């Protein structure tokens, strides 16, 4: 009985020592991170979760009373659930609304629609009242050269110091990745769609 | 002038043909995906965006009028922005609320707290009124063996057929990954924290 208790006590001690060490490491890292400013976050890669991560961060920011705005490229022909919720919470949306480029099959129309949303983005990126701008699926616009890379980089560099920006989409241009403070690449390990499960409301849109 | 127009026309034609082909491919894939049921999504990996992706999907589901519930392991001592917004929208939260295990340094207390949240999870996973359950940062509870893997797998397998579940956290157990329909692994390419930028309200919590 006494032995068992001693063993239990040793295990508890070990756990506490390990956690104490971890706490010291974490605390030291937290202490060395002192800068506070608007950051550029890129969420790229082929896996599911890029846009939802962007919208989750918008929800987080709005929940804290920050002002957030969303520009949506490509999507926008479907009634996305997050848009309804976030618009109710005061988030302004600018939506390209033409759908996927393989649906329109009209390059000139797509470029005009992309340019129109980009004009709005430039406004947002110079508005000191906006704390967070989500540029959802913008990477494709740069891949297709529907909007100008240099213009995007200039607008990002000249934005208000406190303003956070999130860019989502596959195959993000290297120049944007270099500029970014935080970059996550979402790899697809598997996707329900590939097993014959259709896109479902509340999950996929 | 005529030549230029012809060239323009050819380019437009090519774009349309390419997009027409892409549309056929996409349409065929959409047509072959016919099954509709609750899916298990795992968002794992070391990069930023796991929890925000989960909460973004909750926002999406709630925006469509679905019933969603959230169980939060580990976190919960900070006032997360997304919680405030989503609770206002009717999402029920069950929160472990003890903070990180290196902060409590008390294994027994952590296990008891994890078990309490897991009890609530089992309720949610058998409630036919719930369309989506987010099990935020549950992977750590399995790594630490604070909750039982077999019990989790049984509860996931026996949940209502229409119910979607999202599990987030680093190093997800292989058995859960095998069970899942969609798995994304978020790799960290870089993180602002590593450049001395502190965790900021609305972005990191």
Average pLDDT score over residue span A115-140: 97
List, as one string, the DSSP characters of A83-104. HHHHHHTT-EEEE--S--HHHH
Residue A20 has pLDDT above 90, yes or no: no
Strand ranges (E), B68-131: 68-72, 92-95
CA distance A204 to chain B (A): 8
Q: What is the rounded average pLDDT of the residues A143-166?
A: 97
Nearest-CB residue to B101 (from A19, A81, A106)? A19
Asked whether the predicted pLDDT for residue B59 surpasses 50, the reply is yes
> How many alpha carbons lie under 13 Å from residue B151 in its C-beta half-sphere?
12
In the structure, what pLDDT confidence band is assigned to residue B1 with cuts at 50, 70 and 90? very low
Question: Helix axis angle, A107-124 relative to A149-157, nearest 10°?
Answer: 10
Tokens (6 digits) for A173: 């241009």
Kindly report the number of other CB atoms within 10 A of residue B168's CB atom: 29
Contact list in A for residue B132 (CB cut-off 8 A) is: 202-203
In chain B, DSSP finds a helix count (H) and a strand count (E) of: 8, 6
Q: Work out the minimum CA distance from B116 to partner chain A, whole angstroms.
A: 21
- Contacts A183 to B, Cβ<8 Å: 188-190
Kindly state the average pLDDT of the residues B132-153: 96
Q: What is the pLDDT of residue A60?
A: 94
Decide if pLDDT at A2 tops 50. Answer: no
Residue with the larger pLDDT of the pair A166 and A30? A166
Residue B133 has pLDDT above 90, yes or no: yes
The tokens for B26 are 């996409």
The most confident of the ranges A185-189, B12-16, B85-89 is A185-189
CB contacts of B169 in chain A (<8 Å) are: none
Q: What percent of chain B has pLDDT over 90?
A: 65
In percent, the amount of chain B with pLDDT more than 70 equals 88
Query: What is the predicted pLDDT for the residue at B161?
Result: 97
| Alpha-carbon distance values, B175 to A168, A202, B120, B145, B156 (Å) | 30, 26, 22, 14, 12
Whole-model pTM: value is 0.87
Q: What's A192's DSSP letter? A: G
* pLDDT score at A102: 64
Task: List chain A residues with CB under 8 Å of B134.
Answer: none
Residues of B within 8 A of A195 (CB-CB) are: 35, 181
Sign of CA pseudo-dihedral A63, A64, A70, A74: negative
Q: Which of A105-114, B5-14, B95-104, B148-157 has the highest mean pLDDT?
A: B148-157
Contact criterion met (CB < 8 Å) for B56 and A61: no
Minimum CA–CA partner of A46 in chain B: B184
Helices (H) and strands (E) in chain A, counts: 8, 6
Residue B3 predicted with pLDDT over 70: no
8 Å CB contact of A16 and B190: no
* Nearest-Cα residue of chain B relative to residue A11: B107
CB contact under 8 A, B89 and A84: no
Mean of all residue pLDDT scores within chain A: 89
User: Is B96 a residue whose pLDDT tops 70?
Assistant: yes
Residue whose token pair is 């794992």: B44
Q: Render pLDDT for A41-63 as a digit per residue (tens, 0 to 9).
A: 999 999 999 999 999 999 999 99
Mean pLDDT of B38-56: 96
Q: Which residue has the higher pLDDT, B172 or A103?
A: B172
State how far the Cα of B74 lies from the Cα of A30, in Å rounded to an integer. Answer: 18
Percentage of residues of chain A with pLDDT beyond 70: 88
């Amino acid at each position: 009985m006494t032995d068992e208790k001693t063993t239990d006590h040793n295990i508890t001690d070990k756990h506490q020592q390990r956690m104490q060490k971890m706490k010291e490491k974490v605390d030291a890292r937290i202490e060395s991170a002192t800068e506070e400013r608007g950051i550029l976050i890129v969420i790229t890669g082929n896996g599911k979760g890029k846009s939802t991560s962007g919208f989750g961060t918008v929800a987080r920011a709005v929940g804290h009373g920050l002002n957030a705005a969303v520009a949506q490229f490509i999507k926008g022909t479907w009634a996305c659930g997050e848009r309804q919720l976030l618009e109710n919470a005061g988030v302004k949306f600018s939506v390209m609304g033409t759908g996927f480029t393989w649906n329109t099959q009209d390059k000139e129309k797509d470029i005009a629609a992309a340019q129109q949303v980009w004009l709005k983005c430039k406004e947002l990126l110079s508005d000191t009242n906006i704390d967070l701008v989500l540029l959802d699926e913008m990477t494709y616009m740069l891949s297709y050269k529907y909007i100008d890379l240099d213009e995007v980089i200039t607008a990002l560099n000249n934005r208000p110091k406190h303003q956070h920006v999130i860019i989502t989409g596959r195959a993000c241009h290297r120049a944007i990745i270099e500029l970014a403070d935080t970059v996550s690449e979402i790899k697809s390990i598997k996707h329900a769609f590939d097993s014959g499960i259709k896109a479902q409301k509340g999950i996929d849109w």
